[in-house]
Amino acid sequence: MPGAERVSDKEANGLISNYDSTDRRLQELKKLLETLNEILDIVRKLLLIPKDVSDGLTDLDNLLVLVSELLTAVQIIPPITAEAAALQKVVDGVQKVVHPIRKTANQIENQVKPYRKYVEDIQKFFNKIIPLVDALDQFIQSEHGLIKKTNSSNNALPDSRYKRDQMKSLEGFSGGLNKDMIDPMKIINEILKAMDFIKEALDIITKACKTLSELMKPVLRVTEVLDDLTKPLKALDKALDQKVHFLFFSISIRDLFTTLEDIPFIGKLTDLAMVILKPLLRALHLDVDLSLPGVGNITGGMRKVIGNLDSIKKTMTGSQPNMISMFERKSLENMINRHDV
């Protein structure tokens, strides 16, 4: 028809492009949520490591105190006096390093503890959201196909008033939807950004927990060494309370080695005491390695864990309402209903 007004399909093509973009972003979001759920499964188990660290350092700290006390007790035995005193000095030095680290680790573990439940809650939320993302994506794909087919059909019509009316109707519908999609698309992009940040934080937590596990190996080794050491030390300490007798005189081995007053038959009594102690002394090995490489980095690793957990909670607090509003209000579906072709 000569001179007839040509109706643009700019809005319809724009809507098709928006649907394409939204579809891609929703698929990205679904894939990212599934990946996060897998990582959260790993992190949930790894978050037991800070508890293992706290418990392990507590065990070590308590053992160091016990061994120091036992070494003090057995130093009175002449053959091992110097060696026991030297080892006690080392043990006390290690305990001075371990104790403040243990206290800090206990405090951080108390902060991490509630997050083990929180991670489960995030997983439950993601499990609820993933099928909704999938359903919304399918809905967008369906509408995308419908708009694309309608626009293509209209363009294929011969020029006429009917075609122009159809094109105007589709343009008006598409224009309204394009405006209504601005906020949901913005929300989806914000959610994706938040989920990307959470993934980075979870990756850091995963690495930090694995590092903590490595740093705990020397702690566990030294704990085992000290645990083995306590057995002969306790046996010796107990033996010191046994009494030795010669003629009319009786005295405990502990008193024999610590009493400053003159003791009758001291030579003979000492020989009798050593008969009791020598088998126990043979079982005692004071030449032990108590080195703890990397122990000073433990609290730094634990702080990295709790710091990133705090960041995840803050991010989830900001993004959860957006995700809930996106799906509970079914905003995109409502848009379609408001713009019936």
Give the integer Cα–Cα distance in Å for 187 and 323: 8
Computed from CA positions of residues 67, 68, 72, 75, in that sequence, does the dihedral angle turn out positive or negative? positive
The predicted model gives 217-236 an average pLDDT of 94
Task: Identify the bridge partners of residue 251 per DSSP, sorted by sequence position.
Answer: 244
The predicted model gives 284-309 an average pLDDT of 92
pTM for the predicted model, two decimal places: 0.79
Percent of the chain at pLDDT above 70? 90
Q: What b/e readout covers 291-326, taking b as 16+ CB neighbours within 10 angstroms?
A: ebeebeebbebbebbbbbbebbbebbeebeebbeeb
Asked if residue 12 has pLDDT above 80, the reply is: no
CA dihedral 169, 175, 177, 179 (to 10 degrees): -160
How confident is the model at residue 6, as a pLDDT?
53
Task: Determine contact, residues 208/300, Cβ cutoff 8 Å.
Answer: no
In a domain, 200, yes or no: yes
Task: Determine contact, residues 169/279, Cβ cutoff 8 Å.
Answer: no
How confident is the model at residue 129, as a pLDDT?
83
Give the integer Cα–Cα distance in Å for 216 and 224: 12
How confident is the model at residue 265, as a pLDDT?
85
How confident is the model at residue 334, as a pLDDT?
55
Which of 171-175, 232-236, 323-327 is most confident?
232-236
Q: How much is the mean pLDDT over the chain?
A: 85
In a domain, 5, yes or no: no
How confident is the model at residue 2, as a pLDDT?
46
Residue found under tokens 């700019």 = 10
Number of domains in the chain: 1
Among 20-24, 149-153, 233-237, 322-326, the range scoring the smallest mean pLDDT is 322-326
For residue 288, the 8-state DSSP code is -
In a domain, 3, yes or no: no
DSSP state letters, 92-103: HHHHHHHHHHHH
Give the integer Cα–Cα distance in Å for 10 and 167: 10
Give the model confidence (pLDDT) of 237-277 as tens digits: 999 999 999 888 899 999 998 886 788 888 898 999 999 99
Vertex 312: Cα angle to 310 and 315 (nearest 5): 110
**Cα→Cα distances 99→62, 148, 220, 291, Å:** 9, 69, 15, 15
Which of 26-40, 91-105, 127-141 is most confident?
91-105
Phi, psi of 249, rounded to the nearest 5 degrees: -110, 140
Name the 3-class secondary structure at 286.
coil
Residue 139 pLDDT grade (very low, low, confident, very high; cuts 50, 70, 90) = confident
Task: Determine contact, residues 53/102, Cβ cutoff 8 Å.
Answer: no
User: Which residue segment(s) compose the domain that 110 sits in?
Assistant: 10-336
Percent of the chain at pLDDT above 90? 50
Asked if residue 103 has pLDDT above 80, the reply is: yes
Closest by alpha carbon to 60, among 211, 231, 225?
A: 225
Helix (H) or strand (E) holding 245: strand 243-246
How confident is the model at residue 94, as a pLDDT?
94
Residue 337 pLDDT grade (very low, low, confident, very high; cuts 50, 70, 90) = low
Asked if residue 327 has pLDDT above 70, the reply is: no
Asked if residue 3 has pLDDT above 50, the reply is: no
The predicted model gives 135-142 an average pLDDT of 81
How confident is the model at residue 219, as a pLDDT?
94
For residue 177, the 8-state DSSP code is H
Asked if residue 48 has pLDDT above 50, the reply is: yes
Give the integer Cα–Cα distance in Å for 155 and 256: 112
Give the integer Cα–Cα distance in Å for 241 and 313: 58
In a domain, 341, yes or no: no
The predicted model gives 151-162 an average pLDDT of 77
In a domain, 1, yes or no: no
In a domain, 2, yes or no: no
E strands along 247-290, which residues? 249-252
Instruction: Show Cβ contacts of residue 118 under 8 Å, excluding neighbours closer than 6 positions.
Output: 309, 313
In a domain, 4, yes or no: no
Residue 87 pLDDT grade (very low, low, confident, very high; cuts 50, 70, 90) = very high
For residue 78, the 8-state DSSP code is G
Closest by alpha carbon to 65, among 31, 88, 85, 47?
A: 88
Instruction: Please give the residue that has the higher pLDDT: either 185 or 102.
Output: 102
